[in-house]
Amino acid sequence: MQISKTPILNVNVSCVNYQKTLYQIKRWISTKQKKYICVAAVHLIMECQNKPQLLYGVNKADLVVTDGMPLVWLTKLYRYQDTERVYGPKLMLKICEYAQNNKIKIFLLGGAPNQSRELLVKLIKLFPKLLIVGNQDTPTRPINKKNNNQIIKQINRSNAQIVFIGMGCPYQELWMIENRINLKPNILIGVGAAFDLISGRIKQAPKYMQQIGMEWLFRFIQEPKRLWYRYTVLNVKFIYRLITIYF
């Protein structure tokens, strides 16, 4: 299956939906390929603007899926009408369902102290036969070299086939870019807020807010001190850059 890409501020965003994304993941696991996937919203696009290493690495990713509604709208402008929002938490649950049904081994990496354990418990309740072979919190980011080496050994010893990484943007993307070569699992996927949302630490926005691209407001109301810069300054810069380039 050929996946088209749309350049959005120099970031090559994959024109995908859940079906195409899951198809690729299943194929890569069955053929024992080693890949990494970025789940992209406006935040990641803007982080790439001033970080050459990040931009290069994201564009080398095997999929950059459309998590943010503005990215979906822009890909549709390029006439890729079957593109849909590939929402990180929903994608994670779909992958876990597939993993349970096919005895695929999962590792959870990321989160505040004890959060990866909370997520593990929640996932086992949802998918009782899911094979979660390891979990590790990452409260300090970026991870120092010594701890990082230990984490790589832990993941490789676990024989995991999929690693979900919830460090937040851009730490999870940089971690995948820098460490993919040393890791044995087939799939690395940075799912960011999925750790918070699925574990229940943060409430998810109502579906209607997600569909109209207003989930950012719901999250901003919950965490204004942490998210004010992302959802005000970065969003305004994103719109300004689009206007100057395309109009």
- Beta pairing, strands 35-40 & 11-14: unpaired
Is 246 a residue whose pLDDT tops 70? no
Can you say how many angstroms the Cα of residue 232 is from the centroid of all Cα atoms in its chain? Answer: 21
225 to 80, 96, 194, 220, 230: CA distances (angstroms): 36, 32, 20, 8, 10
Is 124 a residue whose pLDDT tops 70? yes
**Which one-letter DSSP state was computed for residue 205?**
P
Give me the half-sphere count of Cα atoms (radius 13 Å) on the Cβ side of residue 222: 12
- Tell which wins on pLDDT, 226 or 118: 118
**pLDDT for the residue numbered 76:** 87
Q: Is 19 helix (H, G, I), strand (E, B) or coil?
A: helix
Determine whether 4 is exposed, middle or buried from the number of CB atoms within 10 Å of its CB (0-12, 13-18, 19+): middle
Rounded Cα–Cα distance for residues 38 and 45 (Å): 11
> Six-digit token pair at 13?
């965003």
Q: 156-209: per-residue pLDDT in tens? A: 999 999 999 999 999 999 999 999 999 999 999 999 899 999 998 888 877 777
**Domain range summary for the chain, segments of one domain joined by +:** 5-199, 207-246
Rounded Cα–Cα distance for residues 3 and 189 (Å): 17
194 to 115, 150, 164, 183, 241: CA distances (angstroms): 11, 24, 9, 22, 28
Q: 21-80: per-residue pLDDT in tens? A: 999 999 999 999 999 999 999 999 999 999 999 999 999 999 999 999 999 999 988 777
Is 212 a residue whose pLDDT tops 80? no
> Six-digit token pair at 22?
């899951």
**pLDDT for the residue numbered 59:** 98
Is 122 a residue whose pLDDT tops 70? yes
Which residue from 186, 137, 189, 195 is spatially nearest to 159, judged by alpha carbons?
186
- Taking domain 5-199, whether its CATH number is 3.40.50 is answered by yes
Q: Is the bond leading into 142 cis (omega within 30 degrees of zero)?
A: yes
246 to 18, 66, 130: CA distances (angstroms): 29, 20, 46
Can you say how many angstroms the Cα of residue 27 is from the centroid of all Cα atoms in its chain? Answer: 19
Q: What percent of the chain has pLDDT over 90?
A: 74
**Cβ count near 96 (within 10 Å):** 21
**Which one-letter DSSP state was computed for residue 182?**
G
Q: 217-236: per-residue pLDDT in tens? A: 777 777 777 777 777 888 88
Confidence of residue 243 (pLDDT cuts 50, 70, 90): confident
**pLDDT for the residue numbered 164:** 98
**pLDDT for the residue numbered 49:** 95
Summary mean pLDDT of the chain: 92
